[in-house]
Structure 1
Amino acid sequence: MTKVVVVTGGSAGVGRATVEEFARQGYDVALLAREPDRLARVAAELESRYPIRALAIATDVADADAVESAAARTEGELGPIDVWVNVAMATVFAPVSKLTAQEFERGTRVTYLGQVHGTMSALSRMRLRNRGTIVNVGSALGYRSVPLQSIYCGAKFAIRGFTDALRSEIIHDNLKVHLTMVDLPAVNTPQFDWAMNKMGVKAKPVAPIFEPEVPARAIFFAATHKRREVWVGFPTVKAILANRIAPGLIDKYLASAGYEGQLTDVPLEKGAPANLYEPVPGNYGAHGRFDRESKVGSLEMFTDRHRSAFWLLAAVGLVGGLHLLAKKYKV
């Protein structure tokens, strides 16, 4: 019997690569995102390439009722949901001093509450069947925040707290529902072209950058293996471990390098797209404009399958790197 996956944010970026990966693996897919025309195109493309069914449902994940309606429609048309993947996000590139309370609220509702809404709708159905998998997509920035992304970082921290609390409840209730989290590095997606930006120049991901197919493979791996968490790419590992060891040092480093590392020298055009409140139309795909700089592979499988050796190597490299930073910033 064909399995069914729901992917939020499935029309572009990591979500688009994720629905492709699940379709390639033979899953029927339901795609949730706000822009109906792009969703329909993606669904048609998937059905033309793979022997699967693809269901496009225009949904704002910030609306709990809309997410619940999408879950009900998915089960009505495709069948019981086996896997639910929460990818959808929204952010603003700006310092806190330039943000409004409304922007914080909207970004948090999409990026954090969107995952809560998806998880609740999925879990209510999986609980009855006592089976299923929920994948929450986090970030290295959910462990180590960076300047200019306070909305996104705050939401990713919240997702991690929510996921850990729920995991304990699932264990307490003896449910055979698997809850996992996949933490991502910088990824080459369209968000750097359509996220609201108040900096006057175009944004960029902090190198090293990975193609969206890399996290997509990690998400599928997490959904099909009993792992509590998967860290994608060595930069994610370094960010998480470095912040645990020397957070004050990282504060100073990011105060110096965090702005330059996220901004280009290219002026932002007047009327540039901003998808915080409304979806941006257009034929966007999984990739952004950084293909030449992006990696097509990572250590995510190695870190998961060969943990002991990896942690030893990571610790040695991290201590050496922190020593050099400490000398540079005189900590």
Structure 2
Amino acid sequence: MPETVVITGSSAGVGRATARLYAERGANVVLVARGRAGLEAAAQEVESLGGHPLVHLADTADAHQVETAAEAAERSFGPIDVWINCAFTGVFAPFDEITADEYERATQVTYLGFVNGTRAALKRMLPRDRGTVVQVGSALGERAIPLQSAYCGAKHAINGFTSSLRTELLHRGSNVHVTVAQLPGVNTPQFSWVHSRLPRHPQPVPPVYQPEVAARGVVYAADHPRRKQYYVGATTVATVWANRLAPALLDRYLARTGFDSQQTDRRPPSDESNLFAPVDETKGSDHGAHGVFDDMAHGRSFQAALSRHPAAAASALTAGIATAAAAVLTRRARTATAHRA
């Protein structure tokens, strides 16, 4: 039987790219988001790739709407095997320029949307004692940066919530799994529709990866959920370790570079944002998986590929150590020969 997978935020970006990968497997893909145009285009892609789509309009900040989406999924396809929380929204601005309503809305979607999705999934998975929940996280959930306090706060909260839930599942000996895929900067449409008060067009912190790179990491996490979390992209790993080893130094570095590195030289996008309503609904257009940064985005990640193939990673590490050891021994031999001469 094909897998049944629910993906929130699947009308664009990483969620959209993830839906395509599951479609190639012939999975039942339940597409959940607010924007009808993006969802319908995603459904056409899923069907053309061999999957079985179900479109469900829902705002993940509303627990009742998420529960209704879960009911529709199981009514159409049977038990949910994988639930992927990916929907989010944000605000690009210094904290003191963000209104209370804007901050609350970003938190409701980006944090409580994950809580609502996880609750709906566990309601069905726990009685059956099987299933996997994947939280699509971010390096910014490990190390916060300026201008994205609402998003960073929500991603940190997801990590804490998921760690607490994981211990509860371990306590009861459950075979339901929950894991996190921590992503780097990704070229998604959000940077053209995010709520922004910046003087220039927002951009992901370089280096930037294509959504397909992130999607492969998300699917791998769903297939191998026993690990606590997966890091996608070398910059994600570097960010985590830099924050652990030298957080004060990183604070000063981000204070100096974090404003400019998140803006292009272009004018900001239109005043229309997806914070309170989906852009594809108001404009009636589909935005796809990619944003406007194709020219600078990487389609591959060596680190992510190695993390999906631990045997290859171990071989590469062993080869690297052997090469380094051989180099040291060669230098020592040459030095000894020179001394004898």
Q: Which runs of 5+ in 2 are unaligned?
A: 321-341
RMSD: 1.5
Quick one: distance in 2 between partners of 1:28 and 1:275? 27
Separation of aligned partners in 2, 1:75 and 1:33? 17
Amino acid at match of 2:296: E
- Secondary structure in structure 2 of the residue aligned to 1:85: strand
User: In structure 1, what is the equivalent of residue 17 of structure 2?
Assistant: 17
Give 2:333's aligned residue. Answer: none
What do the CA deviations read for 1:135-187 (whole angstroms, capped 9, x no partner)?
Answer: 00111000110000001000000000000000000000111011110000000
Q: Is the 8 A contact 1:14 1:189 kept in 2?
A: yes
What count of residue pairs does the alignment treat as equivalent? 310
Q: Does 1:234 align with 2:234?
A: yes
Preserved CA contact (<8 Å) 1:193 1:273: no
Superposed counterparts of 1:115-264, under 5 Å: 115-225=114-224, 226-264=226-264
**1: distance between equivalents of 2:252 and 2:217?**
32
Does the Cα contact within 8 Å between 2:200 and 2:264 map onto a contact in 1?
A: yes
1:140/1:184 contact within 8 Å kept: yes
Percent identity over the alignment is 48
5+ long unaligned stretches in structure 1: 314-331
For residue 284 of structure 1, what is the aligned residue in structure 2?
Answer: 287
- Correspondence for 2:304: 300
Alignment check: 8 A CA contact 2:146 2:259 kept: yes
Deviations along 1:3-52, one digit per CA (max 9) or x if unpaired, are 100000001000000101111122110000001122122112211231x2
| 1:22-33 paired onto structure 2 within 5 Å | 22-33=22-33
Shift of 1:291: 0.8
Letter in 2 for 1:152: Y
Residue 227 of structure 1: CA displacement?
2.3
Q: Which residue of 1 aligns with 2:2?
A: 2
Q: Distance in 2 between matches of 1:143 and 1:45?
A: 33
Q: Counterpart of 1:292 in 2: which secondary structure?
A: coil
1:75 counterpart residue number: 74
Q: What amino acid does structure 2 have at the position aligned with 1:292?
A: D
Q: Give the secondary structure class of the aligned counterpart of 2:17.
A: helix
How far the C-alpha of 1:265 sits from its partner, in A, is 1.7
Once residues 157 and 44 of structure 1 are traced to their aligned partners in structure 2, the CA distance between those partners, rounded to angstroms, is 34
Q: Secondary structure at the match of 2:144?
A: coil
Query: Could you tell me whether the CA contact under 8 Å between 2:26 and 2:52 is conserved in 1?
Result: no
Give the residue type in structure 1 aligned to 2:294: D
Whether the 8 Å CA contact 1:303–1:310 is kept in 2: the answer is: no
Partner of 2:335: none
SS in 2 for 1:264: coil
Counterpart-to-counterpart distance in 1, 2:29 and 2:91:
29
The residue identity in structure 2 corresponding to 1:48 is S
Deviation at 1:307, TM superposition (A): 6.6
Counterparts of 1:176 and 1:301, CA distance in 2: 27
Instruction: Specify the SS of the correspondent of 1:5.
Output: strand
1:324 alignment partner in structure 2: none
SS at match of 2:164: helix
SS in 1 for 2:42: helix
